[in-house]
Amino acid sequence: MSQSVLTTRIREAAARGKKALIPFLPGGFPDKERFFTELDMLDAGGADIIEIGVPFSDPVADGPTVEQASLDCLINGTCLSWILYELAKRKGRYRAALVLMGYYNPFLQYGLDKLGEDMSDAGVSGCIVPDLPLEESGPLRQALVAHGVDVICLVGLNTPIERMKAYAKTARGFVYFVSVLGTTGVRESLPEKIKSRLADVRKVFDLPVALGFGIKTPQQLAQFGDLIDAAVFGSALIDHIRAGGDSASFMARWA
C-alpha cells in the first residue's frame, strides 16, 4: 500500500526541520460561513494537517472548550453530511491534508458503507475517533481502507506496550499520543511521564508521532525534542477565535 498522505505531510515538515502543525477546528465554527475563511487561513498559515471536528452531543473525551464549541456548531446546523458536502466542493483547494475528528455514532449513522467514498470525494485523508479503541475499530478501518482513508490510533500515558503493539499492526497515517490522563483543553504544564512513554511509542511504531491534548504554546513542545514529529492544538485555537482573533494571527505564533 502506498504511503499515507498524512505520513507524507509530517515527513515533509521534518525534512524542513520542523514539527508538523495540526490545528483542530470544529466544523462550522465559529459559524458556518466563517469556518471556511478560517480553514483558508490555517492552510495559508502553515498547517500541515487540519483536523476538522464533527460535532457530537455527548463528547466524553473533550473538556469544556471543545464541548461548548461542538454544541454551538450543532445549534448552527453543522453535521457530517454538510461538512463532507462543502469539502467536496473545495477538493484540491488545500495544501494541508485534512482529517475528520469526531465520535463514532455520527459516522455510524451516516453509514459506514458510503463513508469511505464520500470522505475520499471530500479530500479527507483520515479520521480520528476518540471513542473507538482497538477492540471496536475493525468495521470502520475496513470501511475506509479501500478508499485510502486512515483511521488514526490514539495511545496515552496509561497504554501498556502490549496494547501499543496490537495497535501498531494496523496503524496508518500517524500515531496520536494523548499527553494527559484527561480531556482536551489547554494545560499550563504537561506530565513528566510523557517522555518515557513517547520513547515507548517510538520503539513500537514505525509512523510519525503527534502530541495532542493540553497543548497551549509552541514553547511547551521544545522539551520533547525528537520524540515527537507533530503537535495538535484545538482548545487554544478555539479560545483565540472566541477572544476575537483569527486563525492567521494564531498560526503566526507557531510558524
Partner 1 sequence: MKKSYFGEFGGQFVPELLMPPLLEIEEAMEKIIPTKAFQAELAALLADYVGRPSPLYLCPNLSKRLGVNLWLKREDLNHTGAHKINNTMGQGLLTKYMGKSVLLAETGAGQHGVATATAAAMLGLQCTVYMGAEDVRRQSHNVRRMHLLGAQVVPVQSGTKTLKDAINAALRVWIADQETTHYCFGTAAGPHPFPTLVRLFQSVISREAKAQFQEKIGKLPDYVVACVGGGSNAIGMFHEFVPHPGVKLIGVEAAGTGQPGCYHSAPLSLGRPGVLHGAVSMLLQTEDGQIMPSHSIAPGLDYPGVGPEHAHLQKTGRARYDTVNDTGALRAFSALCREEGIIPALESCHAVAWVLEHAHELPPGCHVAVCLSGRGDKDLGIIEEYLEKGGTL
Question: What span, in angstroms and rounded, lies between the C-alpha atoms of 105 and 134?
Answer: 16
Sign, CA torsion 173/53/14/191: negative
Nearer to partner 1, 49 or 83 (CB): 83
Cell of 223: 522539551
Strands 175-178 and 150-156: parallel
241 binds partner 1 per the rule CB under 8 A: no
Cell of 97: 491534508
Nearer to partner 1, 160 or 245 (CB): 160
- In 3-state terms, the chain is what percent helix, strand and coil (to 5)? 45, 15, 35
Active-site hit among 48, 51, 118, 229: 51
| Shortest distance, position 63 Cβ to partner 1, whole Å | 8
130 binds partner 1 per the rule CB under 8 A: yes
| DSSP state letter for 135 | G
Pick from 254, 229, 250, 236: nearest CA to 20? 229
Nearer to partner 1, 45 or 63 (CB): 63
Catalytic residue status for 67: no
| Shortest distance, position 151 Cβ to partner 1, whole Å | 13
79 binds partner 1 per the rule CB under 8 A: yes
Residues from 91 through 120 that contact partner 1 (CB under 8 A): 103-110
| DSSP state letter for 98 | E
Catalytic residue status for 51: yes
Active-site hit among 38, 62, 72, 150: 62
Question: What positions carry a catalytic annotation?
Answer: 51, 62
Q: By the criterion CB under 8 A, which residues form the site for partner 1?
A: 56-61, 63-64, 67-68, 71, 74, 79-81, 103-110, 130-136, 153-160, 163, 178, 180-183
